Amino acid sequence: MSGKAKYKKAYIDDVINLSLVKGKVSNHFIAKWLHVDEKTIRNWRKDYYEFDHAFHHAADILKKELAETARQNTKIRKRKIIKTTADGETTTIEEVLPSHNDIAVYKKMGINEVFFNDEKHQQKEYLRSILERKKSAEITSLEAAQFLEIEGIPIPTTLLLEIKQLQGSPIPEDILPQNAITREMTLEEAAEAYQKLMG
C-alpha cells in the first residue's frame, strides 16, 4: 500500500455505498477497500470535508441526492405528439405534469421537501390539463374520468353528469354537489358552475 495515493472525488460514493451496506465504516475498512494505508485515509478526511462527511452522514447525503432526482422528475416536462391525418401530419408540444402516483411514491420515501407546491395544487393542475384535453376533443368524457380515477383524483360532478347524459341514464341524487348544481341546470350551466367552483 502506498501513502502517496491520489485522492479522487469518486471515493465519496464508495464511502456512502459501503456505509449504507455495512451501517458504518472505519478508516481501516476504507483503506483496505481503496488499497491505500490508513494514514492516507486520515489525511484525506482532514483535507476533504465531503469525504469525511460521508463517513458520518451517508444516509443524509443519499436522501439529498434522491430528493434532487425527485425534484428534477417532478418538473413540468414537454412531450412532442405527432398525429397523422388525411390532411397530413400535425405536431403539437404539450406539457407533462408529474402524476399523483409519482408524488405519493416520493412522499412514502420521506422526501416531501421535494415539492414546491402541495399535493392539492398538483391535483388541481392535473385536473385542469385533463379537462383541457377533453374540451379540445383529444379525449372523451369517459377517458377523462378514467385518467382521473387512475390518479385517485375525485371525478368532477359535471363530468359525471355529462357521462350520464351521453348514456341517457337518469342522474342519481347522490352525485349532485350541495349548493352547486341542481337538476334544473343545463349541462352548460353545470359546467359554468364548476368552473367558478375551481376558480
Per residue in 142-198, pLDDT (tens digit) is 888 888 888 788 888 888 888 888 777 555 555 444 433 444 555 566 666 655 555
For 66-83, write each residue's pLDDT tens digit: 777 766 666 666 778 888
- Tell me which residue range forms the domain holding 21: 11-60
Which amino acid, residue 130? Answer: I
Q: What is the DSSP letter of 125?
A: H
15 occurs within a structural domain: yes
Residue 24 domain flag: yes
Continuous H helices in 74-155: 100-108, 119-135, 141-150
Nearest to 93 by CA among 85, 102, 83, 84: 83
- Mean pLDDT across the chain: 75
**Count of structural domains within the chain:** 1
In a domain, 37, yes or no: yes
Residue at 39 is within a domain: yes
Nearest to 156 by CA among 193, 106, 119, 108: 193
Instruction: Write down the pTM of the prediction.
Output: 0.35
Q: Is residue 73 part of a domain?
A: no
Q: Does 183 reside within a domain?
A: no
User: Is residue 195 a part of any domain in this protein?
Assistant: no
